[in-house]
Amino acid sequence: MPVSSVSFFRLRSVLSTAALAAALAAGAAHAQYVGPADGSQAADVASILKDPVDDQRVRLEGHLLRKLGHEKYVFSDGTGEITAEIDDDDFPREPVDEKTRVQISGEVDTGRNRPPEIDVDSMRILR
């Protein structure tokens, strides 16, 4: 049985509309805010240690002084030292030592019986 031209036109119209809607939705899903932060980021390690706020977003610049264990490092920005948990996947491809200046971004993780830590989401080498 041949497809009528009206049915074919309707099918093509529905598919075109669906494709357009999918393209618009995909574009919106990848949009990100790139403006200034609201000031909720801690300025330095000393302020985090003095008044830790769980899940507070932070971006810090400094050095990884030493490795403590699996994915745990001591980070210092010159104002204090804090443990940073950095997944192996978040490390840059270049080697990093205690002299390498890095920027870490992540969240403060507080616990009842331990000092606060930084759960690092991303790390990059500063030049």
State pLDDT tens for residues 99-117: 999 999 999 999 888 999 9
Residue 13: DSSP 8-state = H
Give me the number of domains the chain comprises: 2
CA distance 107 to 83: 12
Segments forming the whole domain that contains residue 17? 1-31
Please give the structure tokens belonging to residue 82: 């804090």
**74 and 103 part of one domain:** yes
| Residues 55 and 105 reside in one and the same domain | yes
* Whether residues 25 and 66 fall in one domain: no
Any domain includes 8: yes
Checking if the pLDDT of 78 tops 90, the result is yes
Answer yes or no: is 85 within a domain: yes
Average pLDDT value for residue range 65-86: 97
Of the pLDDT bands very low, low, confident and very high (cuts 50, 70, 90), residue 43 is confident
User: Which pLDDT value is given to residue 95?
Assistant: 94
For residues 19-44, give the mean pLDDT. Answer: 61
Letter string b/e over residues 93-106, b meaning 16 or more CB atoms within 10 A of that residue's CB? eeebeeeeebebbb
Interacting residues of 110 by C-beta distance below 8 A, sequence separation 6+: 52, 53, 54, 116
Is residue 124 predicted with pLDDT exceeding 70? yes
The answer to whether residue 36 is domain-embedded is no
Q: What is the mean pLDDT of the chain?
A: 84
Q: Are residues 22 and 69 in the same domain?
A: no
